[in-house]
Amino acid sequence: MGQPSVGGSRRQQEECTLHAILAAMDRGAKAVWLGLLLWLVAVTGCKRPVPALPMRVVDIQISSQIDESAVHKGAPAELDPQQLIASAQAGLRAAEVEVMLAPPTREPGDFVLQIELGLLYATGSEAKPKPPLLRVLTAGLLRTRRGPDLLSDDPSPRPELSRLQHLAVAEQGEAGQAPSGTVWRELARRAVQDTAHSLGAQLRLSGLPTKELLKLASDTKKEPDLRGVAMRILALRKDRAALPMVLAVLKDRHSPTALRDQAIGALVELGDPKTVRPLLDSTEFRDRSELGKVLEAAAALGGEEAQRYLEFVSQSHSDAQIRDEAKTALSHLLSQKAKRDAAPKDEVHVE
């Protein structure tokens, strides 16, 4: 992540402070008390921010599919993978993420970047024609090279985020003359670099102080991807200060879909059954794509209100698929409820 490591050990710092106290003893009682106070603050208080876990990308995998329509419009039959990998490296490094391909040793913060690339010539449909466009689609995935190993006694810290995703489109209107292979390659290069940069910027949020994440998540002028990841990290930290902005995203019907998805996930992570009602109010009953996400979220949050809602949807929704999804979500809710009821209650000791 390009952050310098903190040099020196705590023991060395304490010894330096102790030497300063001993030197102050020759200067009078006030200096001694001041020295003792500084030492107590250094040892028991004044927590320094812990530097973020160094994270790097150790492997880049890019695959491409080129539609016949794109080939017909001058796209190359295949793309040079090394040029695309170089573009991905440039995007990551612009986001200040270290790239070390094929390192000799593996670290907990090692990530793999996978990008699927698609080239197509878009003209819309007969019912809804559009001006012809050269279009490059990218689907990027950044994931840890290895997950937590339960059998390992490795005490190394793990990154807060283990999986990040990004979708992007790079497009250009068709010029008067037929586009060349060079034009298509430049579009592909730009799309890959943008996706890598976006994922790198998201990765750098891991380990940031909560105050900075709260500021970013609430700033509507920032990129939705970054705001969503900031909310997700805050929720993982169980920071309830994120709740108002999460609910604000859900309440705003114009929020980008990806940001809404992150907000729903953050709500589930925070795990407060009282948020079921604002979650349900944020979704149109007839919006089938959105409703499916909300059903599982309500089941995860649990509570009487979620149970009543899932029972209602499972019996009365006009779409059979939604009814089935509601039944499945209801089954999950009841299963979790049964486990909680069966769990031994903590004994209450009365003194």
Mean pLDDT of the chain: 80
Matching fold, domains 56-146+160-203 and 208-270 = no
Mean pLDDT, rounded, for 158-165: 86
Burial 326-337 (b: 16+ CB within 10 A, else e): bbebbebbeeee
Q: Is the pLDDT of residue 251 over 80?
A: yes
Structural domain boundaries in the chain:
11-44, 56-146+160-203, 208-270, 271-341
Mean pLDDT, rounded, for 17-39: 47
Digit-coded pLDDT (tens) for 281-300:
888 766 777 788 889 999 99
Q: Residue 27, Cβ neighbours under 10 Å: how many?
A: 11
Which residues face 138 on adjacent strands?
A: 117, 168
Confidence of residue 156 (pLDDT cuts 50, 70, 90): low
Digit-coded pLDDT (tens) for 40-67:
444 434 433 344 577 899 999 999 999 9
pLDDT at 153: 60
Range 208-270 has CATH code 1.25.10: yes
Task: Pick 56-146+160-203's CATH classification: 3.30.160, 2.40.160, 3.40.50, 2.60.40.
Answer: 3.30.160
Confidence of residue 169 (pLDDT cuts 50, 70, 90): confident
pLDDT at 100: 94
